[in-house]
Amino acid sequence: MDHSASPSASNQVRAFSRAWTEVIGLLDQGLLQTEFSLPQARVLYELNQQPTWELRALRDRLGIDKSFLTRVVSGLTDADLVEVRTSATDGRSKRVELTDRGREEAAVLEERSAGQIEELLGSLTSVQQAEVTGAMTLILGALGRLQEPVISTRELALGDVGWVTMMHGELYGHEYGWNHEIETLAARVMADFCEANPPAGSRSGRERAFIAEVNGARAGSLLLMEADASTAQIRLVLASSWARGLGIGRRLVDEAIDYSRTAGYEKISLWTNDVLSHARRIYQDAGFTLLGSEDHHSFGTDLTGQTWELQLLAEPA
């Protein structure tokens, strides 16, 4: 798979970077109408989040050159904003923290930064705000730069049917070369689920859709449907490529298992394909057993389908 950046993608990123620096005023002489440069303000921010930083850890946190950080901290020290001390336990380690004046200036920066972003977002509708913040999460996730991501799950909401359908087409098409049949299948399954489970609530109370979010951005899906009175069926399990490594798939499967027990099912079944190795590991770790395999031609390619099953134990007393 070719991972080189196309000229158009590179130009788009550069254009966005230039526009964003203008939007939040990074080219001004002082950030947020203060005397501080962007590196100085970022150091003050980090020190305001944690009382004391080991200088090496702060450098790793910011991802900047050692000598450059030393100059930034030295300037802040001369201004009586930070204080650098030698560690009591390791003479080679330097620890840095804010002075009283530094905390005051950091508070001013925090207030002005929050006000600037609130004003920026305040000009957008709630839908536009969700689109902007979701895109930001996607960008950071794709670049592996999400810090302390907040993962949550919820039930189906407006827009999810189309999103789940679209993501199955895009993800399996791009990563496995599958054709439009996978998107058609996802649309059909979603339609069946929604017809059986109207917005006012499920007719049986035994089926549920799980939508995973990371920092409020859609990141995964799973449907739990009733195969028969004793068997639940897991369908349309998916985790967005940018959110992989965060445990999205495992969380969805675990929640589906817990819900199945609560709903009174005796077992859970699922059908997948052997090329989806990451998903298979999740099922194995959750206790599913492979019942059988069968070759088939679907989604424009030759595949080996697999049927898995999990026997549910009663909840402990």
Domain identity same for 157 and 306: yes
| Average confidence (pLDDT) over 117-129 | 93
Q: pLDDT: is 27 or 244 the higher one?
A: 244
Domain identity same for 221 and 109: no
pLDDT of residue 315: 53
| Average confidence (pLDDT) over 110-136 | 93
Counted domains in the chain: 2
Domain identity same for 218 and 114: no
Domain that holds residue 76: 8-123
Task: List the CATH number of the domain containing 159.
Answer: 3.40.630.30
Domain identity same for 79 and 166: no
Q: CB-side exposure of 149: number of CA atoms within 13 Å?
A: 28
- Tell me if 42 is assigned to some domain: yes
Domain identity same for 40 and 111: yes
Cβ-Cβ contacts under 8 Å for 74 (sequence gap 6 or more): none
Q: What is the CA radius of gyration of the chain?
A: 25
Q: End of a domain among 123, 144, 163?
A: 123
pLDDT digits (tens, 9 = 90+) for 262-316: 999 999 999 999 999 999 999 999 999 999 999 999 999 999 999 999 999 755 4
pLDDT of residue 25: 80
- Tell me if 55 is assigned to some domain: yes
pLDDT digits (tens, 9 = 90+) for 195-249: 998 765 444 579 999 999 999 999 999 999 999 999 999 999 999 999 989 999 9
CB 264 within 8 A of CB 283: no
pLDDT digits (tens, 9 = 90+) for 56-102: 999 999 988 999 999 999 999 999 999 999 877 776 788 999 999 99
Domain identity same for 207 and 291: yes
pLDDT digits (tens, 9 = 90+) for 17-26: 889 888 888 7
3-class DSSP state of 205: coil
- Tell me if 138 is assigned to some domain: no
Task: List the CATH number of the domain containing 64.
Answer: 1.10.10.10
Domain identity same for 279 and 216: yes
Q: CB-side exposure of 143: number of CA atoms within 13 Å?
A: 10
| Average confidence (pLDDT) over 101-119 | 93
pLDDT of residue 263: 93
Domain identity same for 26 and 108: yes
Domain identity same for 57 and 114: yes
Statement: the pTM of the whole predicted model exceeds 0.95: no
- Tell me if 50 is assigned to some domain: yes
| Average confidence (pLDDT) over 157-185 | 96
Q: How far apart are CA 314 and CA 266, in angstroms?
A: 8
Domain identity same for 165 and 287: yes
Q: Which residues of 45-81 are buried (b: 16+ CB within 10 A; e: fewer)?
A: ebbbeeeebebeebbeebeeeeeebeebbebbeeeeb
Q: End of a domain among 123, 141, 173?
A: 123
Query: Which token pair is 35?
Result: 């005397």
- Tell me if 128 is assigned to some domain: no
In the predicted structure, residue 30 carries a pLDDT above the cut 90: no
pLDDT of residue 314: 57
Domain identity same for 224 and 93: no
Report CA-CA distances (Å) from 111 to 42, 80, 90, 114, 266. Answer: 14, 21, 36, 5, 54
In the predicted structure, residue 1 carries a pLDDT above the cut 80: no
- Tell me if 189 is assigned to some domain: yes
